[in-house]
Amino acid sequence: MPREKHSHHPILKLAGILIFLAILLALAFVIYDIVLSHAPVAQVAIVTGTIKTIGFSTYPLAASFASPSGTYFTTVVNGRYAISLLAGHSYNMVVSYKSLAGLGSGTCSAGTLSLPLNGTIITYNATC
């Protein structure tokens, strides 16, 4: 009995290739989604507190928090402030102040604030 030859029609080959590519693309999207959904999220700490200036007749206007990741600013209202910062970093705090008479202004160092790795609420009272 003679052996039958299989016909390899070009359309069937193309359909098989397209199905294979569609499966690969779907798999790539699933892997991409898994990687993104498990990507670490930066923790944030909320820092609140009071600031007092020791200069004669001065009051704090603003505070800056500088770290290798950047410098962040907040205003001071009635001696109180609040700011969200990246956890796990150390920040050098600098206070901007003004005199009650409005004749002078300046800055002073209020120390270094080291935040824990986990996001939390920290109270940091400063005097400078």
For 50-104, the pLDDT digits (tens) are 999 987 889 999 999 999 989 999 999 999 999 999 999 999 999 999 988 777 8
- Indicate whether 52 and 108 sit together in one domain: yes
Q: Is residue 3 part of a domain?
A: no
Give 98-122 pLDDT, tens digit per residue. 988 777 889 999 999 999 888 788 8
- CA–CA dist 120, 87 (Å, integer): 8
Do 76 and 123 share a domain, yes or no?
Answer: yes
Same domain, 21 and 65: no
pTM of the prediction?
0.67
Residue 35 shares a structural domain with residue 61: no
Across the chain, the runs of DSSP E, i.e. the strands, are 44-52, 58-67, 70-75, 80-86, 90-99, 105-114, 121-123, 126-127
Residues 56 and 108 in one domain: yes
Q: What DSSP designation does 6 have?
A: P
Q: What's the CATH code of the domain at 78?
A: 2.60.40.1120
Asked if residue 114 and residue 71 are part of one domain, the reply reads yes
CA distances from 6 to 2, 3, 9, 19 (A): 13, 10, 9, 21
Domain span at residue 14 reads: 9-39
